Structure 1
Amino acid sequence: MSEPVIASMAEVRSHLADVLERARRDETPTIITRRGKEEAIVIDIHEYQRLRRLADRVEESWLNTRADESESEGVEGSVSLEEMAALLRAHHG
């Protein structure tokens, strides 16, 4: 992936086809700015899908690690869903 091009919203609006082609063909992202502030980025759809898969794998790994940690700590002090519902009903009357 190439270094991103930085372009204003007005520039992107005027040259959207070029921005899309650059993302697809050259794998060059375009960072879109508005009033000098970075707002969004245009990337190729395949790169977006790759990043989503990566993010999903990282999230799944993180959740599995948390579940393993919870399991290793045991169930002492934990309550069932039914017990929690009863406690909430009692507390909120």
Structure 2
Amino acid sequence: MVESMAVVRRHLADVIDRARREETPTITTRRGKQEAVVIDIQEYRRLREVADNAEEAWLNRLADEAESEGVEGAISLEEMAALLRAQQD
């Protein structure tokens, strides 16, 4: 479901109930541009876990590749994760 910010503001309780009870996300728009999504907290937690697991798997794969190639100056998994998190901020 896609609704303008004005509609979401007027019906926020309904938007939240719809996300929670019906598991229906609402994409909010401002001046025709998609800005945010209202989703159930359990779905948000599930998506964060999926993203975190995917990031960890990717970092592990990079570390394994670097180790197998014996790359000079390779950095640790922890250093790689810190660099990626810094780029996200």
- The alignment's TM-score, normalised by the length of structure 1, stands at 0.76
Amino acid of the structure 1 residue aligned with 2:16: L
Specify every segment of 5 or more residues in structure 1 that has no aligned partner in the other structure, as ranges.
81-93
Q: Is the 8 A contact 2:66 2:74 kept in 1?
A: no
Which residue of the partner structure matches residue 21 of structure 1?
17
Does residue 78 in structure 1 map to residue 73 in structure 2? yes
Residue of structure 2 equivalent to 1:31: 27
Alignment of 1:35-54 (within 5 A): 35-54=31-50
Show CA shifts across 1:16-48 (max 9, x none): 000000000000000000001100000000000
Number of residue equivalences: 75
Q: 1:73 to 1:21 in 2, by over 3 A?
A: same
Partner of 1:61: 57
Structure 2 unmatched runs, 5+: 76-89
> What secondary structure is seen at the aligned counterpart in 2 of 1:28?
coil
- State the structure with more CA Rg: 1
C-alpha distance 79-30 of structure 1, shift in aligned 2 (>3 A): closer
Residue 74 (structure 1) shift: 1.0
Q: CA-atom RMSD, angstroms?
A: 1.6
Distance in 1 between residues matched to 2:27 and 2:37, nearest whole Å: 4
Distance 2:56 2:67 in 1: 16
